[in-house]
């Protein structure tokens, strides 16, 4: 039985929060204390975004359980010569339960999110890929960009996911 795709609702908030925690744990990014702080702040932020429509979610469900999820944020940005639009799509929080990986489900839900973005008129889609997912996104047409990041907070370590990206 293949999972069923559906839009997420505010009732799925805790699923998205749990998947975000699991995603960062899988990437070994952050401490348990940091994950707890992040979850509390993310829950509040995502609730607001879902209510206003600034963020849309998708789930793949099997037997009533979300096995894959993704979120699409409509992100304000500056117009560029590439597009005059001041909004871009930002895919984030893509998570697949370990039992459902390597079955093409992440690609399936990403395609659905890209279709949703096109329906909304989005012309540029951005994301931050885990090292494990980079190949999938490149096969889908995403290209690495020149983005750089400087960690300036005292005591904050640069996550290994951010190192050696080129």
Interacting residues of 98 by C-beta distance below 8 A, sequence separation 6+: 26
Query: What pLDDT digit, counting tens, does each position of 47-104 carry?
Result: 999 999 999 999 999 999 999 999 999 999 998 898 889 999 999 999 999 999 999 9
Question: Closest by alpha carbon to 110, among 130, 91, 97?
Answer: 91
* 137 pLDDT above the threshold of 90: yes
CATH superfamily of 4-162: Gcn5-related N-acetyltransferase (GNAT) (3.40.630.30)
Q: Where are the domains of the chain?
A: 4-162
The pair of structure tokens assigned to 46 is 């995502």
Of the pLDDT bands very low, low, confident and very high (cuts 50, 70, 90), residue 159 is low
* 162 pLDDT above the threshold of 70: no
Query: What pLDDT digit, counting tens, does each position of 13-35 carry?
Result: 999 999 999 999 998 888 999 99
């Amino acid at each position: 039985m293949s999972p069923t795709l559906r839009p997420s609702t505010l009732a799925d908030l805790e699923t998205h929060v749990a998947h975000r925690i699991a995603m960062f744990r899988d990437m070994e990014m952050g401490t348990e204390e940091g994950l707890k702080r992040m979850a509390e702040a993310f829950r509040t932020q995502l609730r607001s975004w879902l209510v206003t429509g600034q963020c849309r979610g998708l789930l793949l469900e099997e037997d009533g359980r979300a096995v894959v999820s993704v979120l699409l944020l409509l992100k304000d940005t500056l117009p560029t010569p590439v597009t005059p639009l001041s909004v871009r799509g930002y895919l984030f929080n893509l998570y697949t339960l370990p039992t459902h990986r390597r079955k093409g489900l992440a690609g399936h839900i990403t395609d659905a999110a890209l279709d949703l973005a096109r329906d909304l008129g989005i012309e540029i889609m951005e994301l931050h890929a885990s090292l494990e997912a980079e190949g999938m996104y490149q096969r889908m047409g995403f290209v690495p960009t020149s983005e750089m990041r400087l960690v300036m907070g005292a005591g904050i370590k640069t996550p290994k996911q951010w190192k050696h990206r080129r």
